[in-house]
Structure 1
């Protein structure tokens, strides 16, 4: 092939088009255009990765990153989990056992400290403030029957409405007693007492301002709730701050306040309802609330919670403060509180504040709790039933007498002072609580039988005997209850037992109103009196049979 020389152009063949200088590029583009359909088909045949594949790839990347991190932190080594978990559980069990033992040692040390300090000004001061609550309770409850009669006359109520108004206060009493356990074991023993004072004031002022029976019933129930909420907590406080030998005497101070409260209520009846039926009942409501108004600021300033509660909650500072105050007030500054040595390492934390009953612990004390519940039912049925029954029967017995009905009621209330002397003598005698309970219950049953007799001498003698023995019976029951249960469920157990008792207080007025015969008829109150004799006999038998002797014994902590 002859190469063209510079400056010459090659001759062109005839019939063949001349080639441009860019011929190779054009040919390459043509080839690409021809291969384009094939290339597209190959791309369509290519398998695309699914979402599962993408997920597996992401998991693999994450696993790899986590493994690299474990290697960097040194956590890639294999562990023996089972032996370490078992060791941890055993260590936790041992630590909890050690904490329980230390708490039991502290409770025992608290009881020993109280026994060594003895009874003195501290106990008397605290019990007097608690006795104010019993005084306010008597001032409120002893006027229920005359108030109900006054409401019946003012609003022309029928018998069912009267029975409802009489029972609503006792129903609130039962609810308040149950709430006392929920509050007392969770927030302290003094909280229910102070709440009770506030409730009494609100309920009494509400009754004073009520315009009809519905409003009176609501505030009557609130007053009963407030009165009931402080009783179990007060009994628990007395049991926890008093030495074992002086516990019954301290409870007796509260019953002296009950007697004085009943006389205070009779004084209000003398001023405002002299015939136990008509008069200024609104002023009587305010007069009955006056003790609670005086006791509330004193309780806020001076009432202390108990060492047992602070020990149970793990509050060492408050425990030391209260025990030191007890030693100083009782004239024993040489008795210094020495807390037992605590374990160095403990996983046990102080209990948190929870509202509720410890059902397991209550179930462990089922037998004494059941016996106390029956005894509570008995003395409430007798006590509150007679409190409702005595004004009715005395009003009938006093017809034609030279003194008005309220005067006869005052004379019956004055029998509380010889009853206090009898109770005090029995408490300080060599007789055990079970023997005192059996004697008082037997006399009450005989007195109930005397109330069935015709004429006036038999019923008067029955009222006399009941007034002399009711206080001893109820005081013994409450003393035994306070010393039966451990600290963590003491107020709860007393509230459960007391609630069963308030059922008796609720039933007694209802039975009197629903089964009452014609006024002045021989069998006017026969159903109630028969129920009284039966309840006292059964409760005394069960209590003596199933309750242990607690006189002179320490608390079961």
Structure 2
């Protein structure tokens, strides 16, 4: 009997729910801490007498650190264990966030934010892979949606906290207040989150994996059943050489598709998040209205991330992700038309921008969360964290490119925002092509249940000495 069959037969336990809640909290704090420099920027620039251009490296440093940390963290997770790397990542970004609050200048801040980014980036692929390998197969896509929502929710929490803390106490307290809970969460993670049973099976054998599965599910597991399963399980040698099989011909379409899709969706997302308020202000919307559109984008993005799991369960990942791309293209493509209309009839702009921002956030979040769900299931166990980490790294690199390209396009076109939105639409189309390139999509839940039922019948037949059963 495979690990997946053991988990599926026994369902979601209280321990599973505690693990998901703890890892969701990690990603919420990840989202909070990532936004700290951007939210504190106006106050810090006044205090240090800096221009926006001079402060830019501090904002880019965390994104660059995330790009490095995501790739390195995924590889370390395959080599040393997902749990160990996740705990180390939380410790690193918690300490470094508080240290950044004591910065005395822009160079020191940028260096500390880069190290923070290493922790942010390394946490993400290991968090996703841990949840995917600890939960029953039928619950994974919905859990991926919750994880996708968590980082977005962290940005919203950070914005709400900044409104209260920075005016009253200053930006240094903002870093301290947001960094401290990350370290407190570390104690919860140590007690709550176990190692991946697949990693334990590969490294320590079936008895250790059976004990872990027994603790997770609340019922004993026979180690002999797991030994029977895994002539196909990743050997310890494979785990010690993570990524060795990643860049091979069987993974060609998966790699190219995921790398392209992650790059394009992160580019579009960051460009919208960074520059939408400025674009809407150019269109004549008030500053409050511009921020309102951004808030609606985030709120609908949270809904999109959560709904992704349910949509994939019904339709499968390919139709769901392509649907998210088409919705985003339609919403972003309509924005320049609404900009022109708002200049002629200002009353038409406010509500229209809220609707389009919400639809864009919904579609992009479905795609973002769905790609992570595909990545956690498509790569083989011995290189799963590495594969997802490398794919996400392409997105982190695109984050820097999106922020810079958006500003450059707006500077070149001045009052004409059509080119800005056209660049985002082009990125979304590229994302759709990447999704279509991927050759290992998630099937609808009913199809997966049928396949697992057939596998169970075959396993039972072999146990009775009838290899053709099922």
TM-score bucket (shorter structure): 0.7 to 0.9
Distance 1:536 1:405 in 2: 23
- Contact 2:13 2:217 (8 Å CA) reproduced: no
Partner of 1:80: none
Partner of 2:205: 315
Which is richer in helix?
2
Aligned counterpart for 2:188 among listed residues 298, 311, 315: 298
Q: Give deviations 1:441-471, integer Å, cap 9, x for gaps.
A: 1111222223323233454333121222222
Distance 1:423 1:538 in 2: 20
TM superposition shift of 1:148: 3.7
TM superposition shift of 1:165: 2.5
Distance 2:388 2:235 in 1: 27
1:481 aligns with 2:375: yes
Distance 1:233 1:380 in 2: 19
* Superposition map of 1:20-39 within 5 A: none
Partner of 1:443: 327
Q: Which one has a bigger Cα radius of gyration?
A: 1
CA 1:443 to 1:289, structure 2 compared with 1: closer, same or farther past 3 Å? same
CA 1:531 to 1:289, structure 2 compared with 1: closer, same or farther past 3 Å? farther
Partner of 1:503: 397
Distance 1:118 1:507 in 2: 43
- Contact 1:485 1:493 (8 Å CA) reproduced: yes
TM superposition shift of 1:280: 2.3
Q: Give deviations 1:255-291, integer Å, cap 9, x for gaps.
A: 34234323211212211457xxx98222222233244
CA 1:508 to 1:352, structure 2 compared with 1: closer, same or farther past 3 Å? closer
Q: Considering only aligned residues, what root-mean-square deviation do their CA atoms show, in Å?
A: 3.2
Aligned counterpart for 1:281 among listed residues 154, 171, 178: 171
Partner of 1:377: 263
Aligned counterpart for 1:415 among listed residues 262, 277, 300: 300
CA 1:290 to 1:492, structure 2 compared with 1: closer, same or farther past 3 Å? same
Structure 2 gaps, min length 5: 343-348, 453-470
TM superposition shift of 1:398: 9.1
* Superposition map of 1:392-431 within 5 A: 392-393=278-279, 400=286, 410-416=295-301, 418-420=303-305, 422-429=307-314, 431=315
TM-score by length of 1: 0.70
Distance 2:323 2:48 in 1: 45
TM superposition shift of 1:334: 6.9
- Contact 2:148 2:368 (8 Å CA) reproduced: no
TM superposition shift of 1:349: 8.8
Q: Give deviations 1:399-439, integer Å, cap 9, x for gaps.
A: 657x587666555533345435643542342x111000111
TM superposition shift of 1:307: 0.7
Distance 1:252 1:147 in 2: 29
CA 1:485 to 1:408, structure 2 compared with 1: closer, same or farther past 3 Å? closer
Distance 1:405 1:459 in 2: 9
CA 1:243 to 1:398, structure 2 compared with 1: closer, same or farther past 3 Å? farther
Distance 2:115 2:6 in 1: 40
Distance 2:389 2:68 in 1: 10
- Contact 2:166 2:173 (8 Å CA) reproduced: no
- Contact 2:156 2:298 (8 Å CA) reproduced: yes
* Superposition map of 1:167-182 within 5 A: 167-182=60-75
TM superposition shift of 1:214: 0.4
- Contact 1:148 1:165 (8 Å CA) reproduced: no
Distance 1:538 1:404 in 2: 30
